[in-house]
């Protein structure tokens, strides 16, 4: 979801942005009016995520998946090796991609229990000569979330935050690279937000495509080629909305209200079962099921008829998944819990 007020603002400016006589969709990315939009978005992201001056903010096309290749191409050359914690589908895809460019050490793999948990710090098998350590902060499909930032003894941390970016405060200085496809929590589809410690750029493998080269993107301020102009504009509006709603502390409060409402009910329900271990539960994607796949299918079918969208679990795990990103109103979760309670009474 995107905040309704953001969509309405965009609609009101759709054909004539700020008296320019043009839609943002029609502007040259080199024009003065667009440069202002771009600069405002970047400044807004810097403020809400509290990005230190050591780090650069980049807007790159290709989504999060593009970064699965960009991160190793830019960083793995240091020692030829990287550590990956594989806690779900997207971390697994990222590790597969990295293997094309260097040696991947699996620091953890949670597949043994169908990715229902997050490894503890002591369980991570870190190597001393890794160029970087990689993990995915929130496992969108499995509904697990890291509740700590791993200690890596000076090895740069690369983190995929696609599905929990901007949902709670983070200490950006602990990360070498944070990236996120913006479409889950921040803007329409079309790009990744990348936050990179500038000291890590400029050491890419010689085969790195120019479009993937972080140093080039830093030097060109994300405009090596035409950027996704409209998505950047929308990201700026969402950043403003986040600021008006209490910043990341405000987002965290809302996130806790929404997710605890669902988890509290799941814990007391005799019908529904929460899929993820308690300590690993995601504040963004709540995965649950009943003991019977046919009943799960019935629930999904009836939920659609009742006006709920996208409650069917990912095909890899089955069951159900409620994605409750930043813009989901608390009221939406209240309605879902009421619907689940009714379903439980009717299917005893």
Ligand X SMILES: *Cc1c(COP(=O)(O)O)cnc(C)c1O
Nearer to ligand X by C-beta: 160 or 296? 160
Kindly state the smallest distance separating residue 190's Cβ from ligand X, in Å.
9
* Using rule CB under 6 A, residue 134 touches ligand X: no
Are 262 and 337 in contact by the 8 Å Cβ rule? The answer is yes
Task: Give the Cα separation of 13 and 33 in Å (integer).
Answer: 14
* Using rule CB under 6 A, residue 287 touches ligand X: no
Residues 168-207, mask of contacts with ligand X (x by CB under 6 A): -------------x--x-----------------------
Phi, psi dihedrals of residue 233, rounded to the nearest 5°: -60, -45
**C-alpha distances in Å from residue 274, one per residue of 111, 171, 271:** 18, 29, 10
* Using rule CB under 6 A, residue 163 touches ligand X: yes
**Residue in the structure block whose two tokens are 């993990």:** 135
Are 79 and 127 in contact by the 8 Å Cβ rule? The answer is no
SS3 57: strand
* Using rule CB under 6 A, residue 140 touches ligand X: yes
Residues 212-251, mask of contacts with ligand X (x by CB under 6 A): ----------------------------------------
**Which of these ranges, 60-68, 144-152, 210-218, 325-333, lies near ligand X under the rule CB under 6 A?**
60-68
Task: Give the Cα separation of 134 and 129 in Å (integer).
Answer: 14
SS3 302: helix
Kindly state the smallest distance separating residue 134's Cβ from ligand X, in Å.
12
**C-alpha distances in Å from residue 11, one per residue of 22, 307, 334:** 13, 24, 28
Kindly state the smallest distance separating residue 127's Cβ from ligand X, in Å.
24
Kindly state the smallest distance separating residue 168's Cβ from ligand X, in Å.
16
Site of interaction with ligand X (CB under 6 A): 63-65, 90, 136, 140, 160, 162-163, 181, 184
């Amino acid at each position: 979801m995107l905040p309704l007020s953001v969509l309405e603002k965009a609609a009101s400016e759709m054909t004539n942005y700020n008296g320019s006589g043009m839609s943002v969709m029609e502007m040259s990315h080199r024009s003065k009016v667009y440069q202002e939009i771009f600069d405002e978005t970047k400044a807004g992201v810097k403020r809400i995520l509290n990005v230190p001056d050591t780090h650069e903010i980049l807007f790159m096309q290709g989504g999060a998946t593009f970064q699965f290749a960009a991160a190793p191409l830019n960083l793995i050359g240091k020692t030829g090796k990287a550590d990956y914690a594989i806690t779900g589908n997207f971390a697994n895809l990222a590790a597969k991609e990295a293997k094309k460019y260097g040696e991947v050490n699996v620091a953890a793999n949670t597949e043994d229990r169908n990715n229902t948990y997050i490894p503890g710090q002591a369980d991570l098998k870190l190597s001393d000569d890794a160029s970087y350590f990689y993990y995915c902060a929130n496992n969108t499909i499995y509904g697990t979330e890291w509740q700590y930032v791993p200690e890596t003894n000076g090895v740069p941390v690369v983190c995929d935050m696609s599905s929990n970016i901007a949902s709670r405060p983070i200490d950006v200085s602990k990360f070498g690279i944070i990236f996120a496809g913006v479409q889950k929590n921040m803007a329409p589809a079309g790009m990744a937000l990348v936050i990179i410690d500038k000291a890590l750029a400029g050491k890419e493998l010689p085969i790195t495509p120019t479009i993937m080269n972080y140093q080039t993107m830093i030097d060109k301020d994300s405009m090596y080629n035409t950027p996704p102009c409209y998505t950047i504009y929308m990201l700026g509006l969402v950043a403003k909305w986040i600021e008006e709603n209490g910043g990341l502390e405000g987002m965290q409060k809302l996130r806790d209200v929404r997710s605890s409402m669902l988890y509290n009910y799941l814990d007391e329900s005799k019908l529904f079962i929460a899929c993820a271990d308690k300590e690993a539960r995601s504040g963004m994607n709540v995965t649950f099921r009943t003991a019977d796949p046919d009943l799960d299918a019935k629930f999904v079918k009836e939920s659609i008829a009742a006006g709920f969208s996208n409650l069917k679990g990912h095909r890899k795990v089955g069951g159900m998944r409620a994605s409750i990103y930043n813009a989901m109103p608390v009221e939406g979760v209240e309605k879902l819990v009421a619907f689940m309670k009714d379903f439980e009474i009717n299917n005893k």
